[in-house]
Structure 1
């Protein structure tokens, strides 16, 4: 079964780099959203098996709030990617029980391993 991976990232270049990496690692069903509302629409059409999410997104709802809404529909692993280590930001991310919290700039090998673990 193909795995649907939803990338929630407001920086276009980072999102495209992530998608390219995931495809090179054999994940073909990769979807990108830059806003929470766009992520919700994508998830309705392509329910995610994994969400890779930045906390800060464009639009009215952030990554944390978007994931809370998505989790009310189904269960899936979450990888948070963020440039922030501020305790308030980290604490808000911990509320959604992510599988891991990776700091930007991302280490390719660390990301690949955490994706494999999350999808086991």
Structure 2
């Protein structure tokens, strides 16, 4: 499985890489902006994207994810610091959005990945 990480925090990227490597999942690229995420989604053959809701740049993670979903149909897991149902609605995430809250734990990430692929 090939994954793109779109995240601006070094510690989060490092933690994700460690967990994914332990699970035998390959991180093929890491980007820190929505624009870069869209570009890489088009350039690479990806199975999954992990994207921070609050990416820096002209386009946040939600906007980038919506564009990626429209163009490439790649499954996405959103990363966020704080999750509540009202927050998900205010960000205009899809109803079936899968959101992984920080701090990251291997069990939570495994669960989110299994949900993505059990729905397809």
Structure 1 length-normalised TM: 0.82
Per-residue CA deviation, residues 45-72 of structure 1 (Å, 9 max, x unaligned), is 1132211111001111000000111111
User: C-alpha distance in 2, partners of 1:29/1:83?
Assistant: 21
What is the count of residue pairs matched by the alignment?
117
User: C-alpha distance in 1, partners of 2:34/2:13?
Assistant: 14
User: C-alpha distance in 1, partners of 2:112/2:17?
Assistant: 15
Moved over 6 A (4+): none
Q: Counterparts of 1:21-32 in structure 2 under 5 Å? A: 21-32=19-30
SS in 2 for 1:94: coil
Q: CA shift at 1:93, angstroms?
A: 5.0
Aligned to 1:62: 60
Structure 2 length-normalised TM: 0.82
Structure 2 residue ranges without an equivalent (≥5): none
Q: CA contact under 8 A between 2:15 and 2:104: conserved in structure 1?
A: no
RMSD: 2.0
